[in-house]
A and B are shown apart, each in its own frame.
Chain A
Amino acid sequence: GQQLNQSPQSMFIQEGEDVSMNCTSSSIFNTWLWYKQDPGEGPVLLIALYKAGELTSNGRLTAQFGITRKDSFLNISASIPSDVGIYFCAGQGDYGGSQGNLIFGKGTKLSVKP
């Protein structure tokens, strides 16, 4: 079945540092999405990518859709304490003409040292 490998699983960073995380897949996806989940809440969409090679920013966040369509990365610049949370990548294919399932990575838990 479809699987996404998300790394790293967790990271501690100093406030102000840049952060990078990525997702890879053995399958091709048509859409890559990045979500953030805070404790006790549902995942919130951060960035959506629809074209291979696409680079999209949302404030301090930047994400790219890999050329091979099998990977994506998310960068956070100048991290701040409120960046703490779990970041999920999600990929969507298009199987048999119907909307494909949105497959999620296992998440990257981000902790910031104050």
Chain B
Amino acid sequence: DARVTQTPRHKVTEMGQEVTMRCQPILGHNTVFWYRQTMMQGLELLAYFRNRAPLDDSGMPKDRFSAEMPDATLATLKIQPSEPRDSAVYFCASGLRQHGELFFGEGSRLTVL
């Protein structure tokens, strides 16, 4: 049963700490997206990759956020230093370029105190 896997599912940390979230996309998918979900803003696109190359990260605060794909089976989203306003659920999704369909992971719920 192919699925997008995200870790950790939950993370509570203190302001100023580094947070790294990981995503394993569905095997064979060549696009990976990172979204952030909050009550106020809904689902916001942070970054996306195609064939491991970053195509758009304009939605990401550059001073503290970074997204990478070290290899085709791993995408990472890092926040350093974290702030309380970063508290949200972060979703990774993967898909194939020729289709618009994205498949989401279960999310990483981040709480920054």
Chain A contacts to B: CB under 8 angstroms: 30-31, 33, 35, 40-45, 48, 50, 88, 90, 92, 98-99, 101-107
Contact = CB atoms under 8 A, between A and B. Distances in A.
Given A101-B45, A104-B35, 9 more contacts: A35-B104, A41-B107, A42-B107, A43-B91, A43-B104, A102-B33, A102-B45, A104-B43, A105-B42
Contacts, number: 52
Interface of B: 4, 31, 33, 35, 42-43, 45, 48, 50, 55-56, 91, 93, 97, 99-107
A69 B33 CA distance: 24
A45 B103 contact: yes
A33 B33 CA distance: 16
A104 B42 contact: yes
| Main SS at interface, chain B | strand
Contact of A48 (B91, B100, B105): B100
Contact of A50 (B35, B55, B100, B104): B100
Nearest to B33: A102
A105 B43 CA distance: 8
A98 B49 CA distance: 11
B49 to A, nearest CB: 10
B106 A42 contact: yes
B26 to A, nearest CB: 12
Contacts of B107: 41-42
B102 A45 contact: yes
A101 B106 contact: no
A85 to B, nearest CB: 14
20 contacts: A31-B100, A33-B100, A33-B101, A33-B102, A41-B107, A42-B104, A42-B107, A43-B43, A43-B91, A45-B101, A45-B102, A48-B101, A90-B102, A92-B100, A98-B50, A98-B55, A101-B45, A102-B33, A103-B45, A107-B42
